[in-house]
């Protein structure tokens, strides 16, 4: 059951071009993130945001972390990713200059999901406004509204 302050984006607002397999995995991810008390929200960027998803698209997700639990989440992020779906492989994004990123491969079928773990204060500045999929108490939407 959702708390009174919860926001959950209706799936009808998800891109129509989102295929069944990534749609099913995204449902699992949203559900799993919502159950974790250390997580405050989930947002989608990239081709999800633009609505231009195709069979080669990955899911670019921002997992918003309670700042008081950020260290614990960072240490356990691969385990958290494994709890969200059938994880085949996960590795951090230092090689692309983004250590907050966990690059995940789920499957079968093979699905690429990028999970970027950020506290609300690191949601700005940003290169695009992500689509908020879930927000526990408004912290994600407040942080996005507060910065460029």
| C-alpha distances in Å from residue 123, one per residue of 18, 29, 35, 146 | 25, 20, 22, 9
pLDDT, tens digit (0-9, with 9 covering 90-100), for 94-120: 999 999 999 999 999 999 999 999 999
pTM: predicted TM-score of the whole model, two decimal places: 0.94
**Chain mean pLDDT for the chain:** 95
Percentage of the chain surpassing pLDDT 70?
97
Given a cut of 50, whether residue 1 has pLDDT beyond it is no
Do 18 and 9 touch, CB atoms closer than 8 A?
no
Q: Average the pLDDT over 66-76 and give the result.
A: 97
Given this model, what pLDDT does residue 141 score?
97
């Amino acid at each position: 059951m959702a708390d009174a302050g919860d926001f959950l984006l209706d799936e009808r607002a998800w891109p129509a071009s989102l295929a069944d397999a990534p749609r099913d995995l995204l449902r699992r991810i949203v559900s799993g993130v919502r159950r974790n008390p250390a997580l405050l929200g989930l947002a989608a960027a990239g081709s999800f945001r633009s609505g231009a998803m195709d069979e080669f698209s990955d899911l670019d997700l921002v997992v918003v972390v309670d700042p008081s639990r950020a260290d614990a989440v960072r240490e356990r992020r691969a385990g958290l990713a494994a709890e969200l779906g059938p994880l085949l492989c996960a590795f951090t994004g230092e090689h692309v200059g983004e250590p907050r990123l966990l690059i995940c491969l789920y499957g079968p079928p093979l699905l690429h999901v990028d999970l970027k773990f950020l506290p609300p204060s690191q949601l700005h500045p940003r290169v695009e406004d992500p689509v908020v999929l879930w927000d526990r108490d408004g912290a994600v939407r407040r942080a996005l509204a507060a910065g460029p």
